[in-house]
């Protein structure tokens, strides 16, 4: 009798696993997780949520911006961004597009690149500022399970 219950229980677990697999449910893939990370990253840029953006950075992250020395550490990068924003009171991001490509996931590491288009509205009704760029990201899944930016490289791109 016990062997029968064990067999039925095992069969039930197997059937449940197959059903999850067939339905696409269950644990999300690394690519799906990175896709959700990318959407949060884009939304936080659109909202100019600097604190929220830097929640998505690893403490030892590195930023490689054109014309700048490598910035090492989230605190250094955040201070640089906040310094720029302090010189631009009243400016508002009104459009933030990031089209991510070639998402590669290997264990707890991921890489991808993106085309970016941003429109910023200056105060006093001045003409909007449009920029286009290319960026490469290296992400790492932290012990908490969340993805964080370990390295970012950005440069200008021609208008799409």
Mean pLDDT, range 70-75, rounded to an integer:
97
> Residue 128: beta bridge partners?
none
∠ at Cα 67 (66, 69), nearest 5°?
Answer: 95
Its pTM stands at 0.79
Q: How confident is the model at residue 131 (pLDDT cuts 50, 70, 90)?
A: very high
Strand (E) or helix (H) holding 110: strand 109-121
Task: Please report, for the chain, how many H helices and E strands are present, in that order.
Answer: 4, 6
Q: How confident is the model at residue 125 (pLDDT cuts 50, 70, 90)?
A: confident
Rounded to the nearest angstrom, the gap between the alpha carbon of residue 35 and the centroid of all alpha carbons in its chain is 7
Mean pLDDT is highest, among 9-18, 22-31, 142-151, for 142-151
Domain coordinates of the chain in residue numbers?
29-156
Helical H runs in the chain?
Answer: 2-23, 30-46, 50-55, 74-86
Four-way CATH pick for 29-156: 3.40.1360.10, 1.10.645.10, 3.40.470.10, 3.10.450.50: 3.10.450.50
């Amino acid at each position: 009798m016990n062997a029968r219950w064990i067999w039925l229980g095992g069969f039930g677990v197997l059937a449940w696993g197959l059903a999850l697999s067939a339905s696409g449910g269950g644990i999300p893939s690394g690519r799906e997780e990175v896709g959700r990370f990318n959407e949060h990253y884009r939304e936080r840029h659109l909202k100019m949520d600097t604190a929220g953006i830097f929640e998505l950075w690893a403490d030892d992250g590195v930023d490689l911006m054109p014309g700048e020395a490598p910035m090492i550490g989230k605190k250094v990068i955040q201070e640089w961004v906040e310094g720029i924003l302090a010189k631009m009171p009243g400016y508002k991001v009104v459009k933030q597009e990031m089209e991510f490509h070639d998402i590669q996931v290997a264990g707890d590491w991921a890489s991808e690149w993106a085309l970016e288009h941003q429109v910023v509205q200056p105060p006093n009704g001045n003409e909007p500022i449009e920029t286009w760029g290319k960026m490469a990201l290296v992400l790492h899944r932290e012990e908490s399970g969340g993805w964080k930016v370990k390295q970012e490289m950005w440069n200008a791109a021609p208008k799409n």
